[in-house]
Structure 1
């Protein structure tokens, strides 16, 4: 059982987060959410720090199914990133981010 992702929070409370795709570069190449940065799960949290992403920035992580994004959230929270949100599966997050009615 996986914890519920943070889509509702992302939709209502976050304006311009850093969007991180934690899938492999091969998966990222097949399509991604507009503006997302590809930082695979296995390189976290160091890759976020080397990208210059601050510990207090809003970060949304996503993957294909939601499993790796949940792991990424746990890893980043443990590393001191305060505002990490699990966007879950790419298909769901894309709908939330591109919902112009909100």
Structure 2
């Protein structure tokens, strides 16, 4: 029992750190390589967030909208995509949904700040 009391907090901390890390995007170099290689940049935030500022050239497909599945069905599943949101969490959900739908090359760009740090400034 004493061992469990000692190990449980450590296990929970490890899971929390791992989970938070998973919400973040790929490294900036991978994002830049994908975009320079012709990947389509997809902003998965709401239209209101997109209007307030987005990566130049990004298309807006709101991952929380009921039309998300239909919107990605219109895309080429063999093409390369970089998805991003505000923090990387919705981008991770979009990446997972796209991969489940058969997309083979989807990269989580993280949040808008991560995209800016990778050299892709926001525009409105």
Task: Assess same fold via TM > 0.5.
Answer: yes
Task: In structure 2, list runs of 5 or more residues that go unmatched.
Answer: 1-18
Per-residue deviation, 1:11: 2.9
Across the aligned residues of Structure 1 and Structure 2, the Cα RMSD in angstroms comes to 1.9
Aligned match of 2:57: 35
SS in 2 for 1:74: helix
Q: Which runs of 4 or more aligned residues in structure 1 lie more than 6 Å from their structure 2 counterparts after TM superposition?
A: none
User: Conserved in 1, the CA contact under 8 Å of 2:34 and 2:82?
Assistant: no
Aligned match of 1:56: 78
TM-score, scaled relative to structure 2: 0.69
Give the counterpart of 1:6 among 9, 26, 40.
26
1:72 matched to 2:61: no
Larger Rg: 2
TM-score, scaled relative to structure 1: 0.83
Paired with 1:27 and 1:6, the residues of 2 have a C-alpha distance of 21
1:46 matched to 2:70: yes
Task: In structure 1, list runs of 5 or more residues that go unmatched.
Answer: none
Per-residue deviation, 1:16: 1.5
Paired with 1:5 and 1:60, the residues of 2 have a C-alpha distance of 10
**When you count helix as a share of all residues, which structure comes out higher?**
2
* Count of aligned residue pairs for this structure pair: 97
